[in-house]
Amino acid sequence: MTQRVDAAVRDPVDSGGRWLLRGVRPLGGAAVDMLLDGPVLAEIGPALSAPGATVLDADGLIALPGLVDLHTHLREPGREDAETVASGTRAAALGGFTTVFAMANTEPVADTAGVVEQVWRLGRTAGHCDVRPVGAVTEGLHGARLAELGAMASSAAAVRVFSDDGNCVSDAVLMRRALEYVKAFDGVIAQHAQEPRLTENAQLNEGVVSARLGLPGWPAAAEEAIIARDALLAGHVGSRLHVCHVSTAGSVEILRWAKSKGWRVTAEVTPHHLLLTDDLAASYDPVYKVNPPLRTAADVEALRAGLADGTIDCIATDHAPHAPQDKETEWAAARPGMVGLETALSIAIMVMVEPGLLDWAGLADRMAGAPSRIGGLPQASRDVAAALRPGAVANVVLLDPAARWTVDPHAFASRSRNTPYAGRSLPGRVQATFLRGRPTVLDGKIV
């Protein structure tokens, strides 16, 4: 099911030219033709004719709106040896993403208008997908003083999501103020929920496995306590709270309760927390070290159920590239995190679509619609059905649902190889990604 376009005949103009996608199945529905004209999804229907358009044989491919990742670490500025905006956004495009939110824990920290604009511009220059910088909540991520949130919001980067990710905004007063303050520009605080005192030197989910391996435990309660506190604060001041990388069954229960109150609380879950469990740490291979840590099979099951019923709004990768020397160490010395952009969609298909927990439209909502709503992206991208109607922005990913592929870290576009899936056979392959009508990926390769 590969597309059959000679690269030489592609329209090189940035507008994307005209692309006729033959036989695509929007959101997994009936096969139709789709015409992308410049940056716009111009027409959908059977047997379209479009003189002059490049025809792409997309027979059997599923069309989804361009995916949106609320939680990406692009590492630039500061750790360009692990990832750059250019390499990270190439990885994103290959994974089917058209927008990534770049986390603020760079060096320097993205806590000023200057740094967020720099990251935003690097994204525009690279051109593989849109980069929406996340601003730090506190100066230097130190958790002591608010960063200039308004300046970042008013900057060219138009920041709406603020997070100290990597660190928890643990001071309750500071968290309350941040939640209140960003209401002025419809911002959201994305909390990395980790009670710091309960997790000093924590290495692994606290439980049977950590006890056996002699690794300091990271108790579920340290996440759940912060989520409960922040949900109460968000409810109290009527603000928007987003919870990063929810990892425990208890967190799902608390979120369900908070949503039942009508509070404006949203949450994300990573692909790895939907699949992997803490017993993988038995090898002491830090490729499985991540923060929050891998949890138990019961947690995985609760997270999948929570994502299916909407208690958890979306999937976010927490793509966290690390240089080899930061992973080829003893467990405690390794940095936490996994790359995820190039495997996220396949993992999501494996854990949610294949078992019947979500259909294609549901998956599209969890990976495109919901993150667009939370991140404040343009109205049209917030509803996945509307995003694939004529007149919508032509952000489209074409996916071969029947393909299987084997993960080869050395084939990644990411500069880093710290994937827990090396050698695994995964379902679903991104064949093409269009960003405002311009292909960023064709035939599974970067354009």
**Binding residue for another protein, selected from 328, 361, 422, 424, defined by CB under 8 A:** 328
Stretch that binds another protein, among 21-29, 257-265, 266-274, 321-329 (CB under 8 A): 321-329
Among residues 15, 329, 379, 406, which is the contact residue for another protein, using CB under 8 A? 329
**Nearest distance from C-beta of residue 138 to Zn ion, angstroms:** 15
Residues 331-370 that bind another protein (CB under 8 A): 331-333
Which of residues 270 and 296 has its CB atom nearest to Zn ion in the complex? 270
Binding to Zn ion, residues 170-199 (CB under 5 A):
192
Point out which span in 100-108, 210-218, 380-388, 397-405 binds another protein (CB under 8 A): 210-218
For β-strands 314-315 and 265-269, DSSP reports them as parallel
Q: Does 165 bind Zn ion (CB under 5 A)?
A: yes
Q: Which of 130, 206, 365, 400 binds another protein (CB under 8 A)?
A: 206
Q: Which residue, 297 or 411, is less far from another protein as judged by CB? A: 297
Residue 218 Cβ vs another protein, minimum distance, rounded to whole Å: 11
Of 40, 213, 361, 386, the one binding another protein (CB under 8 A) is 213
Written as one letter, the residue type at 129 is C
Residues 402-421 that bind Zn ion (CB under 5 A): none
CB of 156 to Zn ion, least distance (A): 26
Toward another protein, which CB reaches closer, 144 or 333? 333
Among 217, 293, 337, 427, binds another protein (CB under 8 A): 217
Q: Is 423 in the site for another protein (CB under 8 A)?
A: no
CA nearest to 121, candidates 72, 156, 151, 158: 156
Would you tell me the crossing angle of helices 249-260 and 297-309 to the nearest 10 degrees? 30
Tell me the one-letter amino acid at 95: G
Residues between 257 and 286 that touch another protein (CB under 8 A): 283-285
Burial of residue 90, with CB atoms counted within 10 A of its CB: 0-12 exposed, 13-18 middle, 19 or more buried = buried
Taking CB under 8 A as the rule, does residue 210 contact another protein?
A: yes
Closest to Zn ion by CB, 168 or 350: 168
Token reading at 136: 């730090």
Q: How far is the CB of 325 from another protein (least distance, A)?
A: 6
Q: Which does 192 bind (CB under 5 to 8 A by kind): Zn ion, another protein, none?
A: Zn ion
Interaction between residue 81 and another protein (CB under 8 A)? no
Residue 195 class from Cβ within 10 Å (0-12 exposed, 13-18 middle, 19+ buried)?
middle
Applying CB under 5 A, what is the total number of residues that bind Zn ion?
A: 3
User: Strand 18-26 relative to strand 62-65: parallel, antiparallel, unpaired?
Assistant: parallel
Binding to Zn ion by residue 128, rule CB under 5 A?
no
Among 125, 325, 379, 406, the residue binding another protein under the rule CB under 8 A is 325
Nearer to Zn ion, 27 or 244 (CB): 244
Which one of 6-14, 155-163, 324-332, 407-415 is the stretch in contact with another protein (CB under 8 A)?
Answer: 324-332
- Omega into 108 within 30° of 0, i.e. cis? yes
The reply on whether position 379 binds another protein by CB under 8 A is: no
Three-class DSSP labels, the chain: CCCCCCHHHCCCCCCCCEEEEEEEEECCCCCEEEEEECCEEEEEECCCCCCCCEEEECCCCEEEECEEEEEECCCCCCCCCCCCHHHHHHHHHHCCEEEEEECCCCCCCCCCHHHHHHHHHHHHHHCCCEEEECECCEHHHCCCCECCHHHHHHCCCCCCEECCCCCCCCCHHHHHHHHHHHHHHCCEEEECCCCCHHHCCCCEECCHHHHHHCCCEECHHHHHHHHHHHHHHHHHHCCCEEECCCCCHHHHHHHHHHHHCCCCEEEEECCHHHCCEHHHHHHCCHHHCCCCCCECHHHHHHHHHHHHHCCCCEECCCECCCCHHHCCCCHHHCCCCECCCCCHHHHHHHHHHCCCCCCHHHHHHHHHHHHHHHHCCCHHHHCCCHHHCCCCECCEEEEEEEEEEECCHHHCCCCCCCCCCCCCEEEEEEEEEEECCEEEEECCEEC
* Residue 33: CB minimum distance to another protein, A: 53
Interface with another protein (CB under 8 A), residue from 93, 152, 209, 344: 209
Should residue 214 be labelled a site residue for another protein when binding is judged by CB under 8 A? yes
Residues assigned a catalytic role: 318
Number of residues that bind another protein (CB under 8 A): 24
Phi and psi at 175, nearest 5°, equal -65, -45
Instruction: Assess 206 for contact with Zn ion (CB under 5 A).
Output: no
Q: Is residue 207 within the footprint of another protein (CB under 8 A)?
A: yes
| 219 touching another protein, by CB under 8 A | yes
Segment interacting with another protein (CB under 8 A) among 21-29, 71-79, 130-138, 325-333: 325-333
Instruction: Point out which residues bind Zn ion (CB under 5 A).
Output: 165, 192, 244
Instruction: Point out which residues bind another protein (CB under 8 A).
Output: 203, 206-217, 219, 283-285, 325, 328-333
